[in-house]
Amino acid sequence: MGMPEFENNEITRGQAITDMIESIAQEQTALSHILNAEVKNLQKIVGLSTVPDDMELILSTNKSVKQMVTSITRLEVLIQTKLELFEDCLCEEDE
C-alpha cells in the first residue's frame, strides 16, 4: 500500500465526508496491525522464556508493549473525536 494520490478536482461535501471517514477507517486498520504485531512480539518473548534470567527480557518487553498500547489508546481518543464531527451530518447524494 503506497501513498495516496490526491487529485486537484473539486469534490462534493458528501464525497469529502466519505473520504474523511475512509481515512479514519484506514487509521483504525493501521492501529489494529500495530496491536497485532505487539501481541505477536509478546507471545514470542514469553514463549522463549525458560530460565529466571529471561524475566528481565519479559519485563522490558512488557514495558514496551504497555507504552505502545497507551499511545494507541490516545490515538483512539483522537479518532473518536474525528468521528464525532460527523455524528449529525446528513448528506444528500448531489451536494
**Contacts (Cβ under 8 Å, ≥6 apart) of 62:** 42
pTM over 0.85, yes/no: no
Per-residue pLDDT tens for 23-73? 999 999 999 999 999 888 888 887 776 665 677 888 888 898 899 999 999
Domain boundaries, the chain: 13-84
Q: What is the reported pLDDT for 51?
A: 61
pLDDT category of residue 13 using cuts at 50, 70 and 90:
confident
3-state secondary structure of 82: helix
**1 or 40: which leads in pLDDT:** 40
